[in-house]
C-alpha cells in the first residue's frame, strides 16, 4: 500500500520531473498531479499528457494547497522556489527536490519559513540527456535516492519523503547533506569533470584521430555530454568538496606518473591492479 498524497506539484518538469509525474501516476502516489513550467510549450505538452492534471505558468498557483511539492529545477533555483511556494502549500506540506548538491540547499531551505517542511533528496537517476521528451516512468526503478535531513528536520516528514522515493522503486539511503556532498563529489562530480577535461583535450587534436577511438573512449567520456550550464551550477554549489576530491585524484595521478616516468613498471601494475579490483567489485 503506497504512501499517498492528495496533491503533488512538480516544479519544472524536465527529464526528472516528467519521469516523476509519469511514475507517480502509474503507481498511484497522488490523487492530483500539477506542474509549473516556465515555457508555454512544456505546459501544453504536460496538459496533453495522461499523468498531469493541470499545468500552470505561476508557481504559487501550481502549489496552492499541495501537500507534496518536488522542485526539479537546476540547483540554484531550488531555494528561491521553495521560498515562493511554501506560504501557499497545505499546512504541514512537504517540499523535496532532486538537486545534485545538498549542503547549501538544505541549510538555506530550512530557513524559508511558510507552511511547508523541506526535506532534501537526490534521486541518482537521469542521464546525459535532458528534457521531458526523454522522460520515462521507469527512470527511478532500482536506482539509489539519497535523502538528506538536517538534525533539526522533524522525523515524520523525513519518513514520508523516504517512503515516497521508495514507492517509486528506488533504494533510499539517508545521510547528512554534508556527507552527501562529499560522496557525490567523488562518485559523480569528479568522474564528470575527468570525462569533460579528457574531451576538452581531445577537442584540440586532429579530428581524424577519432576514427581510431574505440568503445573505451566513448564510455569514458559519455557523461561529458551533460548540460554545461547545469554542471556549472553543480560545481558552484559543491565547490569545496569537488576541489578536495580533485586533490585526492591528483595525488594518485602523480603516483602513477612518477612510476611511469621512472620506469617502476611493477609499481604501475600494482596501481592498475588496485583500480581493476575496485572496478570489478562495482
**Residues between 80 and 139 with contacts to a copy of itself, criterion CB under 8 A:** 124-125, 127
141: nearest Cα among 120, 123, 122: 123
CB 23 within 8 A of CB 139: yes
Residue 211 is a binding residue for a copy of itself (CB under 8 A): yes
Query: Which residues have a Cβ under 8 Å from the Cβ of 247 and sit 6 or more positions away?
Result: none
Binding segment toward a copy of itself, per CB under 8 A, in 17-25, 42-50, 103-111, 227-235? 227-235
Task: Please report which residue ranges of 39-154 form alpha helices under DSSP H.
Answer: 40-47, 59-63, 78-85, 103-109
Nearer to a copy of itself among residue 80 and residue 114 (C-beta): 80
The one among 14, 25, 184, 241 contacting a copy of itself by CB under 8 A: 184
| Contact predicate 68/7, CB 8 Å | yes
Minimum CB separation from a copy of itself for residue 231, in Å? 5
The least CB distance from residue 270 to a copy of itself, in Å, is 8
Q: Smaller CB distance to a copy of itself: residue 134 or 171?
A: 171
Q: Which of 22, 201, 241, 244 contacts a copy of itself by CB under 8 A?
A: 201
Rg over alpha carbons for the chain, rounded to the nearest Å, is: 21
The grid coordinates of residue 130 equal 535532458
Q: Which is nearer to a copy of itself, 25 or 192 (CB)?
A: 192
Q: Confirm or reject binding of residue 142 to a copy of itself (CB under 8 A).
A: no
| 26 versus 197: smaller Cβ distance to a copy of itself | 197
58 forms part of the interface with a copy of itself (CB under 8 A): no
Contact (Cβ atoms closer than 8 angstroms) between residue 188 and residue 100:
yes
90 DSSP 8-state letter:
P
Touching a copy of itself, residues 233-262 (CB under 8 A): 235-236, 239, 242-243, 246, 248-250, 252-253, 256-257, 260-261
The cell for 89 is: 502549500
Amino acid at each position: 500500500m503506497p504512501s499517498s498524497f492528495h496533491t503533488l506539484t512538480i516544479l519544472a518538469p524536465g527529464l526528472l520531473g516528467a519521469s516523476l509525474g509519469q511514475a507517480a501516476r502509474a503507481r498511484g502516489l497522488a490523487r492530483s498531479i500539477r506542474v509549473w513550467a516556465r515555457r508555454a510549450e512544456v505546459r501544453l505538452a504536460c496538459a496533453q499528457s495522461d499523468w498531469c492534471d493541470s499545468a500552470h505558468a505561476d508557481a504559487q498557483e501550481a502549489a496552492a494547497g499541495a501537500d507534496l511539492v518536488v522542485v526539479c529545477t537546476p540547483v540554484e533555483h531550488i531555494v528561491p522556489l521553495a521560498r515562493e511556494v511554501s506560504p501557499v502549500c497545505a499546512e504541514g506540506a512537504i517540499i523535496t527536490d532532486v538537486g545534485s548538491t545538498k549542503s547549501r540547499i538544505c541549510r538555506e531551505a530550512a530557513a524559508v519559513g511558510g507552511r511547508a517542511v523541506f526535506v532534501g533528496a537526490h534521486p541518482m537517476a537521469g542521464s546525459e540527456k535532458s528534457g521531458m521528451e526523454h522522460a520515462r516512468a521507469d527512470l527511478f526503478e532500482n536506482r539509489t535516492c539519497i535523502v538528506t535531513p538536517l538534525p533539526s528536520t522533524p522525523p515524520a516528514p523525513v519518513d514520508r519523503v523516504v517512503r515516497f522515493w521508495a514507492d517509486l522503486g528506488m533504494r533510499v539511503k539517508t545521510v547528512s547533506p554534508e556527507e552527501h556532498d562529499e560522496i557525490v563529489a567523488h562518485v559523480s562530480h569528479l568522474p564528470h569533470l575527468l570525462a569533460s577535461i579528457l574531451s576538452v583535450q581531445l577537442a584540440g587534436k586532429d579530428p581524424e584521430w577519432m576514427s581510431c577511438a574505440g568503445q573505451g573512449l566513448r564510455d569514458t567520456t559519455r557523461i561529458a555530454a551533460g548540460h554545461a550550464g547545469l554542471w556549472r551550477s553543480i560545481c558552484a554549489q559543491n565547490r569545496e568538496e569537488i576541489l578536495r576530491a580533485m586533490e585526492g585524484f591528483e595525488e594518485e595521478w602523480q603516483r602513477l606518473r612518477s612510476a611511469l616516468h621512472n620506469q617502476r613498471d611493477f609499481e604501475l601494475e600494482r596501481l592498475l591492479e588496485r583500480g581493476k579490483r575496485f572496478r570489478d567489485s562495482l
